[in-house]
A and B are shown apart, each in its own frame.
Chain A
Amino acid sequence: MKRWTLTIWVLALIASLTVGLIGCSSQTATPSPTAASTKKESAPTEKPASPATPKAGEPKTSDTASKPSGQPIVLGVPTALGTIEGADSLRAVQLAVEEINAKGGVSVGGVKRPFEVVSIDTREAEAGTPTNDALAATEKLITEKKPNAIVVGAFRSEVFLASMDLIAKYKLPYITSIAMTPEFEKKMQAEPEKYKYFFRTGLNAPYLVGNLIKVMEFTGKKFSFKKVYFINQDVAWAKGTSDALEKWAKANGWEVVGHDAYPTGSSDFSSSLNKAKSGGAQLVVPIFDMPQSGVLVKQAKSVKLQALIAGFISPAAPGTAWKAFDGEVAGLVNFLFENGSMPVKAVPKSVAFVENYGKKYGEEQKQKLSGHGPGPAYDSVYVLAAAIEKAGSVDADAVVSALEKTDTDGVIGKIKFNKDHQVIYGTNPKETAISTAFQWKAPGVRVPVFPEAAAEAEIELTK
């Protein structure tokens, strides 16, 4: 008894020392999104004075600026901060706030007021978190921190839709950038006066389908592709997207070799990839936002699938994916839902955003920027600042009226809201916001290939 107890103690000590050693040497460890979420931005200490919206590439600070002196304008960020999209979006908001405050803050009726960010982790992306809990967290933030507006907002569509009634009660401008459901527009159309406080800068599902169709059309013409295989995560948004694509493909002369859905958490896609191979699929369209989906391309290489893979695989979107997957993502065409998480020359503000993000959070975080959320979250703050300045107050109704008239350039392209308060997405960043598709090419670079107006190279087939 004593002998083995002593042995356990000694071994546990060795284990502790090993773990400690690992911890001490982990200078490049992944920062905790939770830690990021609880950090409050400190008051600006520099002295800028230019308008809230900076020009692309403009330095963050100016010696001639004045320090904001008024009461802070509080921005609430209730979202799933444990997710990459949520954590990156909060960082993007904090960056925008820091830039605006450094330039003197927001001019409200002649008074310069700084932005202040308050956030709460709704944990809504975690399995088993009921919608009610996420709503309770949002309401807690509203009642305790009394934000003047909300940005980023709900992560899951069902939470977002449920939030609409809650927010309507508090009458707060709410600019969402992650939830993609088209039901938002339907609710807006049904009761525009009740829900007028809601705006969406992020991509919605119909726009995503439209973009993927354009890529299919392009590859169909360029490479004479006619056989496609769809693989999607078995969740509402991915299933809806894939089903709509399949419907379009069948109506436009494509042969659909197969269409499979995988439960969240699946990590073996070999059955679909083998079927795609034996069926002679030329194009494989994956739609996934779960971590395990990153290995789909790796497994496609293992089974020697020759088809072009073009779609959305969230783990293959960050700049770190090449290293994470040992270069086996080569040739993959992947969408960034909204422009902004990698520099695109056709959208100068995206170049400045990514550069400034890297300066504030480090090169590693810059490389890891999520393809969904950060760009529109960053733009949301600037759009809101401009609307408050235009309204001359933080009164919700006045700010909403000003937001409706937004017409500005952002990191996602041109920002204009349609009548349902959804930012208009298209293919020309001078006229609309854009999604960007890139292709992974050796030696580990992401090259924009879609839309044509932002492309820096053409899609290539790799062996």
Chain B
Amino acid sequence: MEASVLLYGLVNSAVLMLTALGFSLTFGLSGVANFAHGSLYLAAGFIAWMILHYLGLPFMLSVVLTIIIVGILGAAMYRYILMPVRGIALSEVIATFAVGVAILEFFRWAGFVTYDFNLPSFVKGGVEIAGVDVDYQRVIIIGIGAGLAALLWYFSHKTKIGLALRGMAQDEYTALSLGIDSDWAAAISVGLGAALAAVAGLAILPLGLISINIGYDVLLIALAVTVLGGLESTTGLMVGSLILGFASVITANYLGPQWSEVVYLVAIVVVLAIKPSGLFGKFKELEERV
């Protein structure tokens, strides 16, 4: 049982990190709290399903196309909806939340409520690790999560574009004086966050069915992980995912699965009460930002 808790705790942590990665990255690079994150995650699932079933394209091509489309949707959302309210944090939250609800309700209206929406696993089958059976898809999720976190850290800390985006997030006026276009930077970061939401959806959704309410759950998870770890911190994201991932699995195993979601809500409340900037938040207190 302990081996099972360890392994599935790790898997769950990777799922949480992957789920929250786009949300955290967008906020860290542009200061935009994208409350449409869960809807973009869900939209990726439905778009990939449509490409697979209606166009009949190979799965991996569907995955690539979906990531591109959702990334563009994210950038377009910034350009046409967020840009007019840029800098007014509350308006940004309201606008992104409204877009998110609109996307979810669109799919509900369009009839995406049946039990047919299921994405295939990247690789079928499973493997036994320390006496515990786990399917390949979960192992792949751990790999994708770790790989993307490393890649994004490198992108945001070592590349010119990444540094420009971070500079914009730290001090917009100084960045502007150095020739960095703030709208360009924000659109790139929102688009990149949306694309990461798509990657997360396409990796995680094969573990379950695609259903509308997932959009709301994903937003809750993303908020819990990033609030716990610190909204703009990659290290915080990883630590927050590990804490919540293991806490959730331990709770499910020893108290009952019905309590596992409470862990996320408790984490948000406790962190906001004790350390609003999160465990690894560096720049500003959360209350100043959102």
Contacts and interface: CB of A to CB of B under 8 A. Distances in A.
Interface of A: 1, 4-5, 8, 11-12, 14-15, 18-19, 21-22, 25-26, 28-35, 82-84, 127, 234, 260-272, 274-275, 278, 290-292, 294-295, 299, 302-304, 314-315, 318, 320-321, 324-326, 368
Contacts of B214: 265, 267, 292
A33 B256 contact: no
A203 B44 CA distance: 38
Nearest to A326: B120
Given A274-B8, A326-B124, 15 more contacts: A4-B181, A18-B69, A22-B54, A22-B55, A29-B111, A83-B113, A261-B257, A262-B258, A271-B249, A278-B4, A292-B209, A304-B126, A315-B115, A324-B115, A368-B116
A176 B4 CA distance: 45
Nearest to A271: B252
Contacts of A8: 72, 75-76, 79, 187
A292 B211 contact: yes
Interface string B154-186: 000000000000000000000000000101100
Contacts of A267: 207-209, 214
A356 B116 CA distance: 23
Which 5 pairs from chain A and chain B are nearest by CB?
A: A267-B208, A315-B115, A32-B111, A291-B211, A302-B135
Contacts of A368: 114-116
B209 A291 contact: yes
B54 A25 contact: yes
A265 B213 contact: yes
A272 B111 contact: no
13 contacts: A4-B181, A12-B72, A25-B55, A28-B54, A31-B111, A33-B111, A33-B113, A261-B257, A263-B261, A274-B1, A292-B214, A299-B207, A314-B115
A294 B207 CA distance: 10
B187 A4 contact: yes
B133 A304 contact: yes
Nearest to A125: B113
B134 A302 contact: yes
A15 B108 contact: no
B116 to A, nearest CB: 5
A260 B75 contact: no
Contacts of A326: 118, 120, 124
Given A18-B69, A268-B12, A263 B257 contact: yes
Contacts, number: 152
Nearest to B75: A8
A400 B72 CA distance: 60
B212 to A, nearest CB: 9
Contacts of B117: 324
Contact of B253 (A22, A275, A290): A275
Contacts of A21: 55
A277 B252 CA distance: 16
Given A261-B256, A303-B133, A304-B133, A294 B115 contact: yes
B110 interface: yes
Contacts of A11: 72, 75-76
Interface string B221-251: 0000000000000000000000000000100
B267 interface: no
A270 B8 CA distance: 8
Nearest to A233: B258
B94 interface: no
Interface string B99-121: 00000000011111111111010
A237 to B, nearest CB: 15
Name the residue among B47, B110, B132, B208 with the largest chain A CB count within 10 angstroms.
B208
B115 A318 contact: yes
Given A5-B79, A324-B115, A294 B209 contact: yes
Contacts of B133: 302-304
Given A4-B181, A274-B8, A22 B51 contact: yes
B65 interface: yes
Nearest to B12: A268
B50 interface: yes
Interface string B118-145: 1010001010000011110000000000
Name the residue among A18, A32, A267, A268 with the largest chain B CB count within 10 angstroms.
A268
B117 to A, nearest CB: 8
B261 to A, nearest CB: 5
A82 B117 CA distance: 16
Interface in B205-219: 207-209, 211, 213-214, 216-217
